[in-house]
Structure 1
């Protein structure tokens, strides 16, 4: 298994960078134009989400999309050019959250870009990864549309976080992970360790991640050792991201850890920390740094 932690190096200009705002660095696959990243995401970016064919970034409340455009997914609708608070990239479609309303555009094979009425108000989080979407509403109820529409009764209230995988879904409730959908590789079979004390979740294509007491938990498909957590991700972790076949974690000290598939060198660290955000796509990796131009 390839697992590497990129070290923290003090960066000039870090103190002057706005908290949670910086630039994108990407590496790995160049398919569909996801890499190299466009100049427009070199600064002012507060969030990043990598799909399989394209990448979303959030800048001053407006969505930027680059990569494949066979389904019009890089053509950002006017409603998503301001006031957006969250983004999520799927398989050739995009989600955004604005004033409690889910926005969707791009590929619509399974109706995933047709926002249901229930997701047009009161939404506090959105998630996608492949061909289905999740929305979390005030009060903790989960909605699902697209290739999957099923939601278990346990996810009808009290949920605080959601994650959509390739064909399975995760929710966080009272510190425990709920999982449903395709379970071919055990990705929806929650291990005992993830039934309490969990603070974050992320769903890959056929595997799942959870964060507990600064340590990453992983289960599901392990053909690229994506469900084998390296020692570097066993402590001090504050954020996690599951890609299709590889994962990212970032730590309180600014370092990041990447492991799993390395078919396009997506698990080879391209730069040093500190980072404040990460996103893993299909054989591509993206991180957010306060100043992406600063030398290591």
Structure 2
């Protein structure tokens, strides 16, 4: 596979020069930095959600962080109007899902309970009142819940039994029938309806839900997509602009795999015989449907339309990993299958409204067709990166969480919703500091080496790998006589114990930690274990001398994290599409090979060759002229005769 550096050079040089440079580059090895996974108690998938002007993150340990606007207490933090950095919401139970509306927050606990906080004017907190709350309140009257979704001012929940429940604003029948409590203005006129407690909308057989501005969506077990509520911009996908009070099938779609709803537009992925197809419909005033053309006047699409997702060479992407609809912008995460030599990579496609730079393209021009998000750093450029654990599209901002455990944001930042410790808007993805919960670890097959000579016991181990960097190793030595020692040995990969007893058996373990995990007990760290029998019992087994045999624990709960260790700990160019020098330090990040001297030599050589050719041509012409000058003409020959 050509690197970004090679592609750039190839644009400047001819094919022969590219082949020569390819030989040079083939000797350069850039491999992914490998990381362990999170501790055994860390099994929650990372989640991101973006509201109108606030944001939320669930980390691998089930902890919830919120930031951005807090005018209604939607962050779950008291006495602050906004927060410009992620802050932890203290909660006694693991949180597994979070969804943000315009000004309210829903979260789901591991036990299947739903809690809400923030604005409650329409009963969107589901606690039977309309009082705002800066503290989480439980939504009662629900069965065990598996997922949640927040619309602008309404809320949905999907039960483990496949039932769908809703509460909050019902002015456009986004909850359905009955309409609920009437909302009256000062003159007694009815201006809307609300449900302040959960009501059941669908009884069973639903596998996924989504909530838009004032409409709702559900995928049933057969892969059909249902929609109801506001349809002013054709967002229900039935070819009309008629509000629907009951779930109605979206026209022409089946085998729907995933769906995401913006304020008035929808994205859906359909399985077409193993190939993912993206369909969009609804409002298109900002180009958020991705169907191309100029943005002019009032534009909407009331029926699903397939959108082509193409790479830079015009080839269609076959794997759509994630889709996310913001208020009026859209994002798709595209997968590139890996192999034994190339790890899995992913790309981001963005389109739609870009007034505040939420597309992270470095400018504010709206895009009517999907655009590949490119990364540029240290001379490298490219559009494929390490896998993304989570992505979110909000009112006018975008959040991205990489499998490296790093997060970035772009777009409007006026209420701190980017989390960059400022209220400055960003036109490109900018690093957001979050706790590092990824533990270092070893590749499967790595082993501890133990040997002894003249009473000196020597322990050696291969380098462990981490998403950011290993801080040190901890070594434990236990003798069969019951004595033992534990010591932090720094960053070395060898340690010697002098004056050991050749008649004793030894159990040895080395543990690895990073700066975030250095204070954790050893049992929460990845480890390599070894055993050395007594000198006079070379075939002795560890179980003969120790009750509990030490075991290697290369990586903890690998399935809970995308990351895979590689054969090298060398940082790879463009692992994420943003500047990470604040994380690693610019001095350790890879730099693109400087081909300017080689290019200069090639150009100079080509120039000299051209001059040589021209000189040869000129010499031939001069010789021909000279020959013509000394050659006697026919008249001269006749005179001589």
Q: Is the 8 A contact 1:200 1:210 kept in 2?
A: yes
Deviations 1:196-223 (A, max 9, x none): 1111111110011111122211110011
Q: After TM superposition, give the deviation of residue 82 of structure 1 in Å.
A: 3.5
> In the aligned structure 2, how far is the partner of 1:231 from the partner of 1:142?
32
Q: Which residue of 2 aligns with 1:239?
A: 322
> Any idea what SS the aligned residue of 2:323 has?
strand
Q: Per-residue displacement from partner, 1:59-87 (whole Å, max 9, x unpaired)?
A: 22121110011111122597746411111
User: Against the structure 1 CA distance between its residues 151 and 159, is the aligned structure 2 distance closer, same or farther, given a 3 Å change threshold?
Assistant: farther
Deviation at 1:230, TM superposition (A): 4.6
Task: Please state if 1:92 is matched with 2:116.
Answer: no
C-alpha displacement at 1:156, in angstroms?
2.3
Task: Give CA deviations for 1:205-256 in whole Å, capped at 9, x if unaligned.
Answer: 0011111122211110011121233533863212111111011111222111
Matches for 1:25-174 after TM superposition, within 5 Å: 46-59=46-59, 60-75=61-76, 80=91, 82-98=93-109, 99-115=111-127, 116-119=139-142, 121-148=143-170, 150-151=175-176, 155-173=202-220, 174=222
* Higher mean C-alpha displacement, 74-83 vs 168-177: 74-83
Question: Does 1 or 2 have the higher relative contact order (CA < 8 Å, sep 6+)?
Answer: 1
Q: Distance in 2 between matches of 1:87 and 1:222?
A: 27
1:213-224 matched pairs, under 5 angstroms: 213=271, 214-224=276-286
> Which moved further from structure 2: 65-74 or 147-156?
147-156
1:16 equivalent in structure 2: 35
- Residues 49 and 17 of structure 1: CA distance in aligned 2, closer, same or farther (over 3 Å): farther
Give 1:285's match in structure 2, choosing from 394, 398, 413: 398
Match of 1:175 among 209, 219, 223: 223
Distance 2:31 2:97 in 1: 27
Counterpart among 192, 197, 209 of residue 251 in structure 2: 192
Q: Deviations over 1:114-133 (max 9, x none)?
A: 344223x4111100131100
Deviations 1:258-277 (A, max 9, x none): 11111111122474523232
Shift of 1:136: 0.6
Question: CA separation in 1, counterparts of 2:154 and 2:309?
Answer: 33
Partners in 2 of 1:157 and 1:114 — Cα distance? Answer: 21
How many Å separate the matches in 1 of 2:216 and 2:317?
24
Structure having the higher strand fraction is 1
* Alignment CA distance shift 1:128-1:17 (3 Å): farther
Q: 2:262 aligns with which of 196, 201, 204?
A: 204
2:214–2:263 Cα contact (<8 Å) kept: yes
Which structure has the greater CA radius of gyration? 2
**SS in structure 1 at match of 2:141:** helix
Structure 1 spans left out of the alignment, 5+ residues: 1-9, 20-43
- Structure 1 CA distance for aligned equivalents of residues 351 and 100 of structure 2: 21
Cα gap change, 1:212/1:56 in structure 2, threshold over 3 Å: closer, same or farther? Answer: same
Question: Does the residue aligned with 1:255 lie in a helix, a strand or coil?
Answer: strand
- Provide the aligned length of Structure 1 versus Structure 2: 260
Normalising to structure 2: TM-score of the pair? 0.38
8 Å contact from structure 1 (residues 62, 81) kept in 2: no
Q: Are the equivalent residues in 2 in contact too, given 1:202–1:241 (CA < 8 A)?
A: yes
User: Paired residue for 2:349, among 238, 247, 257?
Assistant: 257
SS in structure 2 at match of 1:16: coil
Q: Is the 8 A contact 2:257 2:268 kept in 1?
A: yes
Distance 1:80 1:203 in 2: 29
Separation in structure 1 between the aligned mates of residue 91 and residue 328 of structure 2, nearest angstrom: 29
CA RMSD of aligned residues (A): 2.6
The alignment's TM-score, normalised by the length of structure 1, stands at 0.80
Contact 2:151 2:212 in 1 (8 A): yes
Per-residue displacement from partner, 1:97-150 (whole Å, max 9, x unpaired)? 11111110011111111344223x411110013110000112211111011362
CA shift for structure 1 position 18: 3.3
Match of 1:32 in 2: none
Cα distance change, pair 81–185 in 1 and its aligned pair in 2 (3 A): farther
- Assess if the C-alpha contact under 8 Å between 2:49 and 2:99 holds in 1: yes
